Amino acid sequence: MSYTTLKKDILALLCLTLLTGLFFYQTLLFRKLPVPSDALVGLYHPYRDSYAADYPNGVPFKNFLITDPVRQQIPWRKTVIDDIKKGQIPLWNAFTFSGTPLLANIQSGAFYPFNIFFLALPFATAWSLLIVSQPLLAGIFLYLFLRNRHLDVLSSLIGAIIFAFSGFSIAWLAWGTILSTWLWVPLSLLAIDQIEMERHKVRWAVILAFSVACSYFAGHLQLFIYHILLLLVYTLWIHHKSLRRQWMVYIIIVFIVAVFTSPQWLPMVKWLLQTSRATQGAAWQKEGFFIPIQHLVQFIVPDYFGNPTTLNYWGTWNYGEMVGYVGVVGLVLAILGMTAQTLFWTGMIVIALLIATYSPISLLPYQLHLPIISLLQPTRLLAVVDFSLAVLAGYGFSNLLSHKNDKRIRWVMIGILLLIAILWASILVNRFAIKLEDLAVAKRNLIVPTALLVGLFFLLSPFALLKKERLRLYAAILGVLLIGICVFDLFRFGWKFLPFTNSSYFFPQTNILSFLEKQQKPFRIMTTDDRILPPNVNEYYGIESVSGYDPIHSSRYEEFIAAMERGKPDIQPPFGFERIIAPKNVQSPLFRLLNVRYVLSFDPLPIAEFRPVAKEGKTIVYENTHFIPLVYLADDVLYKKNKQSVIDALYDSSFKPGLSAVTESSVDTLNIPRSLSDSVSISTYDDQKIDIRVAVANPRFLVIGNMYDAGWEVTIDGISTRLYRTNYLFIGVLVPKGNHRVTLRYR
C-alpha cells in the first residue's frame, strides 16, 4: 500500500469518526445520553410521582416504542457488571421471574469484550460509549471490506456511511446488542477474503475467530445466526474455487470459536430446552411478525405510515421492525450497483425479502415447525437487506464515478420520475381508502423524499447528457454532493427516531425505590398495575421481583403464574404471556409461596394482611404482614407424581403455605413433628449463594424459595446432598437432626 493510499484511507476513517461524532453531538457536547430513559420516567410510576411537581402530566418523552433497552438490556448488563465487579461469573439472575439463569441469557452480553468500558467508567457513561461505538465500528469494518474489494475511497466511504446509519441500524441502535452483533459481519467477510487470498493466513484466521466470537458474545442470537449463514453462503459462492485449499483452516476456526464461546452457549442451549419458546415456537400468527408488502414503501419513504416519535404511526406494528431505509441516495446507488459482478448481494436482498415479507413461502417454516427457523422473527432479515444495499451502494457509486452503465443511469432517472408519480398518485387518488388523517401524514412525509429524488434526478442528468471526458471534474464534485445528501438524509431520519435524554433520567432514585433498597433481603415485590415499575427495571436497583420481561423464560414458571392468575389449578396453555409475565392476583394461595413482601399499587388491596408502609404520589407500597420467608421448615411433606397433581395439592385447602411442602420425588423421611427448639435463618444472602443456619431436633424438610434449576448445588456442612423440586417451582432439601450450615450455591 502506497503512502498516498494510506493517507486517503486514514482521512476516510477520520471522516467516519467525525460523522459519528456529529450524529452523537448531543452526547458529546451536552452530555445527553443516547438512551430512551425519558420514556421510563415519563411513562411509569413511581418516577412520574417523583417528577410530578415539575411535570404534572408526566415527563415528556420522545419515543415510546423503544423502551426495551431500559426494560431489558440495561438491567441485565447492570447485573452482569455487578457480578463481575464482585469477582464472580454472572450465572444467576435473582431479580426477575423470581429467579432465572443469567449467563444462559445471551442478551445479557456477559462476555462481550466491550464490557471493559463498564469496569472503568460509570455505568451510564459506559453504556453510552457502547452505543456510540456501534455505528463507528460498523462503518469502519465495512469501509475496510469494500476497500479490500478494490473499491475507491469515496465509494467505500459512502457504503460505510449507509451501513452505519441505515434504517435497521438506527431502529436497533439503542438496544446495544443487536447492532453490536451485526457490525462484526464485514470484518468477518474481510478475514475470509484475506484467508482465501492466503495473505497472512494465521493472522486473519485469528481475526475471523475473534469477530465471530465477538458477534456471539454481543448478545443477539438471531442476528448471530444470520451472521454465520451469510459467511457460509458468501464463502461457498464467492470462493468456491479456492475453498478446497482452505477447508482445514475453517474447521479449526469453527472448533476454536465453539470452544471459546461454550461457557455461554452450553448453558443457553440447556436453558432454551426448558422454555416455552422452544416448545411452542415464535408467535408467527401475530400481526407484524412478517413485513406486509405495502410496507416496502418505507425503503423510499420511511415515514409514509407516520412515525412513533410524532405519535401518528398508522402502519402495522411495529415501526422498528418494518423500516429498512438506506436513504434515497443509498437506494438509487444500490440499484446502479446491481451488476453481474454483484449478483451475490442482489441475491441476498431478494432471498431475505422473500422470507421476511408475508407470503405462502415465508409461512412454510412456521407451519411446518422447522427447528431453529420457526423460532426466528423474519423482519430482522432487514439486517441482511440493509447490509447488502450498503455494499451495492458502494459499487454503484464506483460505477457512477467511473462512468460505467451510463444507459442504466438513464433508466434509473426515468424510474425516479415514475416512482415519484406513483407515490403521489397513491395519495391524491386514494384508491386504497386511507383515512383522511393518515392521508395527511403520508402526504407530509412524502415531501422530503420527493425533493431528494428530484434533486438526485438533476444531479445525475449530466451523466446522460455530457460526454465522458467532460465529466471528470463534475464526477468529483458529485461524489462530495452525494455524500453530503446521504448524510443529511440518514441523519435527519436517525435524529427523528432516536432520543437523547437528560442524564438525570437514567434510572433515577425515588422515595419508594430508596425505601425498597434499604429493606433487609431476601424478599420479592409485585405490582398490581402495569404502569408501576415495569418488569426488569427493579433489577437495576437490586430489588427482586416476581415479574419479568423476556421471550425466553421458564415454561414451568409460566404454568405456575397462569394457575395463580386464573385462581384455579389450571396449567394448560395458552397462557397469553408471550414476553412479559407480571402477576397481579394477591388472593391466590400460590401468591404466598413467591416470597412477596411488598406490593406496589395505586388502589387499596382487598386483604387485611396488607398494610401501607410507604407512599409517593399515586403509588402506595403495601407490606404483606403474612409474608412467608424465603426458607422455612415444613411440618408435612406430600409426594405427587406429576405437575398437575402438584398444582392441585397447592390449591387444596389442606395445604398450609409456609408449613407444608409438595415434592415431585419421594422423600426418605416425611412428616416428623417439629420441636419448639427447631430454627432456621439465613446468615448470608447473595444472588448466587445463600448460607442457612438450621437447628433441628429431628430430620426436617427445608424449603428454599429459590427457583429450582439443575445449576443449584446444596451442601450440608460442606457435604453435597440431594435437591428436591418442591412446591412446583422451588427447592427442598432433607436436613438431618442437629445444628447445620446449609449452603445453596449456583454453579
pLDDT in tens, 446-455: 999 999 988 8
Nearest-angstrom CA–CA distance, 455 and 485? 10
Q: Is 555 part of any domain?
A: yes
Residue 108 φ/ψ, nearest 5 degrees: -70, -20
Of 591, 624, 657, which residue constitutes the final position of a domain? 624
Whether 647 and 733 map to the same domain: the answer is yes
Residue the block writes with cell 456442612: 717
Is the torsion defined by CA of 478, 484, 485, 490 positive or negative?
A: positive
> What value does the mean pLDDT take over residues 469-493?
85
Nearest-angstrom CA–CA distance, 342 and 574? 47
Cα separations (Å) of 199 from 193, 195, 230, 243, 658? 9, 6, 22, 15, 68
Whether 517 and 608 map to the same domain: the answer is yes
- Among the residue ranges 109-113, 455-459, 487-491, 698-702, the one predicted with the least confidence is 455-459
Residue 561: pLDDT over 90: yes
- Residue 700 corresponds to which cell in the numbers above? 426436617
Of 592, 624, 656, which residue constitutes the final position of a domain? 624
Is the torsion defined by CA of 574, 575, 576, 580 positive or negative?
A: negative
Domain of 604 in residue numbering reads as: 511-624
Whether 523 and 610 map to the same domain: the answer is yes
> What value does the mean pLDDT take over residues 585-601?
96
Residue 143 DSSP label: H
Cα separations (Å) of 276 from 279, 553, 555, 576, 648? 5, 7, 5, 12, 22
Of 624, 650, 674, which residue constitutes the final position of a domain? 624
Q: Is the pTM of this model over 0.85?
A: yes
Percentages helix, strand, coil for the chain (3-state, rounded to 5) are 55, 15, 35
Nearest-angstrom CA–CA distance, 681 and 630? 9
Residue 278: pLDDT over 70: no
Residue 309 DSSP label: G
Q: Is 523 part of any domain?
A: yes
**DSSP notation for 539-602:** HHTT-EES-EE-SS-BHHHHHHHHHHHHTSS--PSP-S-TTEE----TTSTTGGGGTEEEEEES
Q: Is 585 part of any domain?
A: yes
Rounded to 5°, the CA angle 98-104-109 comes to 105
Q: Is 78 part of any domain?
A: no
Whether 612 and 587 map to the same domain: the answer is yes
Cα separations (Å) of 553 from 96, 197, 268, 506? 10, 45, 12, 27
Nearest-angstrom CA–CA distance, 287 and 617? 37
| pLDDT tier, 719 (very low <50, low <70, confident <90, very high otherwise) | very high
- Among the residue ranges 279-288, 477-486, 601-610, 631-640, the one predicted with the least confidence is 279-288
Coil, strand, or helix at residue 189? helix
Rounded to 5°, the CA angle 283-369-345 comes to 85
| Each residue's pLDDT tens digit, 520-560 | 999 999 999 999 999 999 999 999 999 999 989 999 999 99
Cα separations (Å) of 158 from 147, 455, 477, 481? 12, 18, 14, 11
Whether 538 and 562 map to the same domain: the answer is yes
Coil, strand, or helix at residue 659? coil
Q: Is 428 part of any domain?
A: no
Q: Is 489 part of any domain?
A: no
Q: Is 290 part of any domain?
A: no
Whether 610 and 678 map to the same domain: the answer is no
Q: Is 57 part of any domain?
A: no
| pLDDT tier, 224 (very low <50, low <70, confident <90, very high otherwise) | very high
Question: How many domains in the chain?
Answer: 2
Whether 728 and 651 have beta carbons less than 8 Å apart is answered as: no
- Residue 246 corresponds to which cell in the numbers above? 482452505
Whether 532 and 619 map to the same domain: the answer is yes
Percent of the chain with pLDDT over 70: 96
Query: Is residue 566 packed enough to be buried (19+ CB in 10 Å), middle (13-18) or exposed (0-12)?
Result: middle
Residues near 522 by beta carbon (within 8 Å), at least 6 away in sequence: 94, 544, 595, 630, 682, 685, 690, 705
Coil, strand, or helix at residue 691? strand
Whether 701 and 722 map to the same domain: the answer is yes
Percent of the chain with pLDDT over 90: 78
Whether 711 and 653 map to the same domain: the answer is yes
Whether 595 and 659 map to the same domain: the answer is no
Whether 615 and 688 map to the same domain: the answer is no
Whether 668 and 717 map to the same domain: the answer is yes
| Each residue's pLDDT tens digit, 76-118 | 999 999 999 999 999 999 999 999 999 999 999 999 999 999 9
